[in-house]
Copies of this chain bind each other. A is one copy, B any other.
Amino acid sequence: MPLVRISIRGGKPPAYRAALREGIYRAMRETFNVPDEDNFMVLTQHDEDELIFSKTYFNIARSDDFVMIQLTVSNTRSLEQKKALFARIVQLLGEKPGVRKEDVFINLVEVGKENWSFGNGIAQYVSD
């Protein structure tokens, strides 16, 4: 059910962008119990003056490889699961495509389970 928006600077090759998507999806599978094949994402690339980030906030030294990730998810996860998701995304993106841990910004937007329709005009999570 997550709807994931990924925002990065332009100029990265397709394999880099694919690794971002795959790492985030795998982290959601492992920590948020996201079902197999539940993968819906928009990845956008931006010029320097369209993607803005602090290079120092929280004493974190961000670089131009900054990755902003906003995930809309159902409101069913615990604090421990959220912490696990954040850590796992950073670990996996660090392995591939090799994003520095300082460069990964994550935000969760939570909604009710009845707020999703995956096709056919049905609210699948609350149908019977």
- Residues on A lying within 8 angstroms of B by beta carbon are 3, 7, 14, 17-18, 21, 35, 37-46, 49-54, 56-58, 60, 62, 68, 70, 72, 79, 82-83, 86-91, 101-112, 114-124, 126
Q: Are B53 and A39 in contact (CB under 8 A)?
A: yes
A45: chain B residues at CB < 8 Å are: 50
Q: Are B39 and A52 in contact (CB under 8 A)?
A: yes
Give me 11 A-to-B residue pairs in the complex whose CB atoms sit less than 8 angstroms apart, sorted by A's number. Answer: A38-B54, A40-B68, A40-B105, A42-B50, A43-B49, A79-B126, A83-B123, A86-B121, A101-B121, A104-B119, A108-B111
Known: A83-B123, A120-B60. A111 touches B110 (CB 8 A): yes
**Does more than half of chain A's interface fall in helix, strand or loop, or is it mixed?**
mixed
Bound CA–CA A117/B102 (angstroms): 10
